[in-house]
Structure 1
């Protein structure tokens, strides 16, 4: 049975030694059908009119950092896949809570896109090119993570991700 409810509350939330909330996210990506062009998945903020972003949320005490990244991608964007090597760590200010957070971002090679997911009622998701996502993304630190992903994908042999993705991700229905 699949649970279709997002985690809520902060009783399991992790904080660093400076008291910053630890958040984890993913940049979901896939290859377009028929070519080697990369598309990334952005989602809308829960707050209307606040721009697009990548799935992210709190890293909780009962999960690994990669498990948290995968969970957030499932809850917010309705995708699952392979969480790859960390892109980096950023410190950023929460606009809503006026406090600093520490955020970690990972690439997520999408293996499955679900028709139903926990936050379907609150979020829109859109596949776009890396350059379009850079323009649409509301957070500078996420744009920097996207730049790191783009550089990593440019230097990686084309077969690396394809080998992980036996059933062509680009053929997943949208």
Structure 2
């Protein structure tokens, strides 16, 4: 990330790295497209106080990707610049939690606004732009104790 002015405020967000064991026994991770730029990303969003960090990440996975499952301890974090429709753009730091997918829904709140796709970790890492998110996705199998 480039230098930012002392006035720049980093905003917290929480995200999920939804994963499953695919048909061939290898780990797969689910990414969604962003609404505005259609870039591949993990489901993420602003904190929901009453849900806490992991609960917020799990809610975002449901709303943006249509998946539910079991969450685990944070895998790490990454920064990105959120382009705002109104007001100044925001520098965000996203704490990412693993989410073992137990249910993949046919219909979900943001289905019409996003595409979702399963990737092997290496392909998911190549699909995203944020360097620290790439590293999190590449480390995912080892973080979960699953050889890829």
Q: TM-score by structure 1 length?
A: 0.71
2:66 aligned to 78, 90, 95, which one? 78
Structure 1 residues 38 and 105, CA, compared in 2 at 3 Å: closer, same or farther? same
* Offset at residue 95 of structure 1 (A): 4.1
1:39 and 1:128 in contact (8 A); partners too: yes
Which has the higher mean CA deviation after the structures are superposed, 38-47 or 95-104?
A: 95-104
**Structure 1 stretches of 5 or more lacking a match?**
1-17, 159-174
Q: What is residue 101 of structure 1 aligned with on the other side?
A: 92
**Distance in 1 of aligned mates of 2:125 and 2:117:** 13
* Offset at residue 38 of structure 1 (A): 0.8
| Aligned residue pairs, count | 137
* Offset at residue 56 of structure 1 (A): 0.5
Cα deviation 1:34-70 (Å, max 9, x = unaligned): x32011111111124x421110111122221111010
Q: What is residue 9 of structure 1 aligned with on the other side?
A: none
**Distance in 2 of aligned mates of 1:123 and 1:102:** 22
**Structure 2 stretches of 5 or more lacking a match?**
1-7
1:23 and 1:103 in contact (8 A); partners too: yes
Q: What is residue 111 of structure 1 aligned with on the other side?
A: 102
| RMSD of equivalent CA atoms | 2.0
Q: TM-score by structure 2 length?
A: 0.82
Cα deviation 1:136-157 (Å, max 9, x = unaligned): 113323212212313313xx26
1:41 aligned to 30, 50, 59, which one? 30
Q: What is residue 5 of structure 2 aligned with on the other side?
A: none
**Distance in 1 of aligned mates of 2:139 and 2:121:** 11
Q: What is residue 114 of structure 2 aligned with on the other side?
A: 123
Q: What is residue 54 of structure 1 aligned with on the other side?
A: 42
Query: Which is greater in Rg?
Result: 1
**Distance in 2 of aligned mates of 1:99 and 1:108:** 26
